[in-house]
Amino acid sequence: MLEFIKKVLTKISSNKYDFETLEGIQNIPIPKYKPLQGMSSPVNNVEYILQKKATEHKKNGRMDLAIACLRKANEIFPYSNFAWLEEDYMRLVEYLKSNRQFEEARKEEQKIKEMFQYSRAIFEGKRIETNIVGLSEKDVIDVFGGLVESFDLKCCCEECAKYAKRIFSIDGKDKRFPMLPDCIKYYNNNHKYCQTPLNAFLFGVDEPRWSYSGNLVDWSNREYKDERSKEQKESFENMIREKEETAKDKEFYDLIFEKFPEIAPKSFGGYRRMKASNSENYKKLLLKAEELLGYNFYAN
Ligand SMILES: [Zn+2]
């Protein structure tokens, strides 16, 4: 009887994770998840709890435990039933930086960037290498005859925009439709701001999500030109400008935070607010940074 109680107790305690010690966090196993149904949320997942615990530990000044939690969360993310984003992985990098472990931060950042460059999204633990939503190329060929539908592409560059609202053949075997161009098929750095998702399309069964005139084959082979409105083009340009400005500011902030912490504002958010208000302190900071760096960061 005692043996039985001991067994039960061991089982109960093994189901409860220890988030409060380095060893406990490191020993959390990678769970075996069942796929989430529909719009489920991952709040009961251990990698979600780890992220919350990281925030808690950071607040309490235990950066070692906070970092261990995020490290473990990153280890679990690829196996999750939820598609975690690059920014979720990057929290570890930010925590390492704020703990002044810059070399380690660079190493982790490199790892994450490489992983996402290769596979833009992680879906149900499978690596998806193309922009086709949720399916591998093989699935599209086997089940959908190799056909995909592009969307009404508004948030993309001039080149990608030409491929909006068409049916494509991904392997070129269905000669009725144009071959899917690589520029929207794969994620690529030259088009990193272009949102060009593709849906598998069963010809004769599925209806496109956009309206068209005439028949779908002729429509898909219509002349290639950028059909976006002036407003759509402008909003895309603005979006890029904002993203690049934020990235540049982040680079500047990280640089001074690492090299000259005595002049760096407490947080990146604080730096951005200071810059937006163009305060006297901001102007002084720029001058001081230029003097210490020996060059004007924003000039190049
Ligand atoms: Zn593009």
Q: Each residue of 124-168: pLDDT tens digit?
A: 455 556 888 777 888 899 999 999 999 998 889 999 999 999 999
| Residue 103 structural domain | 2-127
Query: How confident is residue 35, by pLDDT bands cut at 50, 70 and 90?
Result: low
Residue 75 has a pLDDT of 94
Domain boundary among 100, 127, 154: 127
| 167 plus 209 within the same structural domain | yes
Q: How far is CA 171 from CA 142, 143, 177, 198, 207, in A?
A: 11, 13, 11, 14, 21
The verdict on 110 and 207 lying in the same domain is no
**74 lies in the same domain as 144:** no
Q: Are strands 121-123 and 147-150 parallel, antiparallel or unpaired?
A: unpaired
Band (13; pLDDT cuts 50, 70, 90): very low
Average pLDDT of the segment spanning 32-51: 80
Cα 101 to ligand 1 centroid, rounded to whole Å: 36
User: Does a structural domain hold residue 132?
Assistant: no
Q: Is the torsion defined by CA of 269, 91, 100, 46 positive or negative? A: positive
Q: Are residues 7 and 123 in the same domain?
A: yes
> Same domain, yes or no, for 123 and 141?
no
Do the domain assignments include residue 233?
no
d(C-alpha 221, C-alpha 168), whole Å: 9
Is the separation of the CB atoms in 168 and 147 below 8 Å? yes
Ligand 1 mean position to 203 CA, how many Å?
26
Both 49 and 141 in a single domain? no
Cα(125) to ligand 1 centroid in Å equals: 27
111/82: higher pLDDT: 111
**Would you say 253 and 264 are in contact if contact means Cβ atoms under 8 Å apart?**
yes
Beta bridge partners of 186: 130
Q: pLDDT digits over 187-210, tens only?
A: 777 888 898 889 999 999 999 999
How far, in Å, from the CA of 224 to the mean position of ligand 1? 14
Q: Is residue 48 part of a domain?
A: yes
Taking ligand 1, which is a single-atom ion, which protein residues have CB atoms under 5 Å away?
156-157, 160, 191, 194
Pair 113, 41 in one domain: yes
pLDDT for 95: 98
Distance 88 CA to ligand 1 centre (A): 25
- Ligand 1 centroid–CA 13 distance in Å is 52
Would you say residue 281 lies in a domain? Answer: yes
> What residue type is 283 in one-letter code?
K
Distance from residue 162's CA to the centre of ligand 1 (Å): 9
CATH number of the domain at 54, please. Answer: 1.25.40
Same domain? 168 vs 208: yes
CA of 38 from ligand 1 middle (Å) equals 30
Reported confidence tier of residue 12, pLDDT bands at 50, 70, 90: very low
- Does the residue 23 lie in any domain? yes
Query: Is 53 among the domain residues?
Result: yes
Question: Quick check: 103 pLDDT over 70?
Answer: yes
Q: How far is the CA of 153 from the centre of ligand 1 (A)?
A: 10
Alpha carbon of 44 to ligand 1 centroid (Å): 37
Number of domains in the chain: 3
103 and 34 share a domain? yes
CA of 255 from ligand 1 middle (Å) equals: 30
Does 109 fall in a domain? yes
Does residue 156 share a domain with residue 96? no
* DSSP state at residue 175: T
How far apart are the C-alpha atoms of 111 and 136, rounded to whole Å?
A: 23
Q: Does the residue 60 lie in any domain?
A: yes
233 CA distance to ligand 1 middle (Å): 12
pLDDT at residue number 135: 79
199 — alpha (psi -120 to 50), left (phi > 0) or beta?
beta
Q: Do 66 and 88 fall into the same domain?
A: yes
| Mean pLDDT (the chain, rounded) | 89
Distance (Å, whole) CA 183 – CA 273: 37
CA of 161 to the centre of ligand 1 (A): 7
Indicate whether 103 and 43 sit together in one domain: yes
Query: Which of these three, 101, 127, 153, is where a domain ends?
Result: 127
| Domain final residue, candidates 127, 152, 180 | 127
Model confidence at 288, in pLDDT bands (50, 70, 90)?
A: very high
